[in-house]
Each structure stands twice: as C-alpha cells, then as structure tokens.
Chains A and B, each alone.
Chain A
Amino acid sequence: MLLKSWPVDLKSLSSIQAFVEKLCKDAGFTSLRVSQINIAAEELVVNIINHAFEDNKGEIIKIEVQTYPDQIEFRFIDSGVPFDPIGAKDPDTTLDLMDRPIGGMGIALVKQFADHIGYKRCDNNNILTMIIQKKR
C-alpha cells in the first residue's frame, strides 16, 4: 500500500498526474487506459480543490493506492465538508448547444472510465474509492 499527500492546490495536479501515471504504467495498463485513469483521477482531485474547503490553505489531499494482480485501487481522502460527487445527476447529453450546462461532465467521465467508484464519510473524512480492472 502506498500513501502520498499533496497540498489542496491546482499546482499539485501535475505531480498527482505523474504519480498516477507511473503507478498505472508499472502495473501494466495500456497507454489508453493510463490516460483514462489519469482523467478520472484529475476529475476527483479537481473536485476536492474546488469544493471541499472554504479555504484550501494548509489543507491536504491524500491518495492511497493498492495494486493487485488484476486491478488497481485508489482512495482519495480529504477532510473537507461532506460531499458525495457520485450522487450528482449525470448531465443531459441530449440537450442542444445553447442549453447544455457548462459543468457536470467530470463525474460522468469518472463513472465511465472506472470499474467501481464508491463514497463514504469516515472520521470526518471524505473517502472516494476508485477501482480499475486490467481486463474490461
């Protein structure tokens, strides 16, 4: 099990992406899948940066990773306000250009690229678990 933490700041994103990318590459995922996992991770991290804290200063985001022969499991942990992004409604992808809302697409991408995603609130932490299987 691997655990790393970063400041809750958009500046952490490239380092988090490099971390996720290396782990997934080493675990043997194809480059297409690595990129999809990275998109999903970005969406969850950016969600925390934008919504978890009133003031991000001094706050941290933790990422816990466990690799298995057939899958990789990520846990994104923050101590911000309780928020379950999975419960958010999927955007209506049938609307016309001018009616399409600008937001809400991130979680739809996570749901599509991950094999399992789960939220729980535990000890004042938001914990998002994302599992990605090697075969799908």
Chain B
Amino acid sequence: MDVKIEKKGDLTILFIIGRLDASSATELEIKLNEINEKDPHNTVLSLKELIYISSAGLRVLLSFAKKLHAGKKQLYFSELEGNVKSVFEISGFYSIFKVYETIEEAIKKAESAV
C-alpha cells in the first residue's frame, strides 16, 4: 500500500495505491491521522489504483471521514474500480459518502464547497 499526497489550492488530494488490508491499514491510519492533525482540508481520495480493500481499510477511511467531518471538512471519493466498488456498495458507503466517477468531478465538487 502506498499513499501519494498532492495539494491543489485549498484541497488535499490523496491517491491510495495497492492493497489495503489488515496488515497495511495501520500504516494508512497513521498517515491520515497526521494529515488530519497538521493540516486538515476538504479531501479528495482517488482509489483508481487501489486493487484490494477489506473491512480493516473501510474502518480507517470511515474514521478519517468522521474526524474531518468533526472539523467541518468533507471527504470526496472518486474512481472506484471492480471489487473496491462492490465492497463500498455492500458496506453502504455510497449512502454516507460523496462518490464520483472521475477525479475531476470530485475536485470540482470539493472546490465549489470550499
């Protein structure tokens, strides 16, 4: 699992790459907590290169979203593929999160909310 972080104006854009399972979830949690503590912004997540996610990964994303939300910031998901998409559907994540087909769309929505 790898995380790429970009800044675009007032937004944070995160790319989560590879496998997000119980072994790698803690590593992501540490990175996301750091972002949330130091410099929380409305955040766009691209999951285009995420090939695997289990409930351990879902938990980390849910907890990050809650912390952002508590600081009046929002999380925007984009580019879900294959199994990641079905895991999101089964977990009901589509009804609690803003999920967009393309990263451009997600960025546009996030920018208009700033």
Taking beta carbons and an 8 Å cutoff, which residues of A are in contact with B?
10-11, 13-14, 17, 32, 35-36, 38-39, 42-43, 46, 49, 91, 93-98, 100, 102-103, 105-106, 108-109, 112
A113 nearest CB across to chain B (Å): 8
B52 touches A35 (CB 8 A): yes
Tell me the chain B residues, 51-75 only, with Cβ under 8 Å from chain A. Answer: 51-56, 58-59, 62-63, 65-66, 69-70
B83 touches A36 (CB 8 A): yes
Smallest CB-CB separation from A93: which chain B residue? B92
A112 nearest CB across to chain B (Å): 5
Contact code string B19-45 (vs A, CB < 8 Å = 1, else 0): 001110000000000000000000000
A13-B21, A13-B22, A42-B21 are contacts. A109–B82 as well, Cβ < 8 Å? Answer: no
Majority secondary structure, A binding face: helix
| Complex-state Cα separation, A65 to B38, whole angstroms | 47
Smallest CB-CB separation from B53: which chain A residue? A39
| Complex-state Cα separation, A17 to B53, whole angstroms | 13
| Complex-state Cα separation, A49 to B23, whole angstroms | 12
Instruction: Pull 14 A–B residue pairs with CB atoms less than 8 Å apart, ordered by A.
Output: A10-B23, A13-B21, A32-B83, A35-B52, A35-B82, A36-B83, A42-B56, A94-B95, A96-B96, A97-B69, A97-B96, A100-B96, A102-B59, A109-B87
A94 nearest CB across to chain B (Å): 7
Specify which chain B residues have a CB less than 8 angstroms from the CB of A35 in the assembled complex.
Answer: 51-52, 82-83
| Complex-state Cα separation, A36 to B86, whole angstroms | 9
A43 touches which of B51, B55, B69, B86 (Cβ 8 Å): B55
Specify which chain A residues have a CB less than 8 angstroms from the CB of B87 in the assembled complex.
Answer: 39, 109
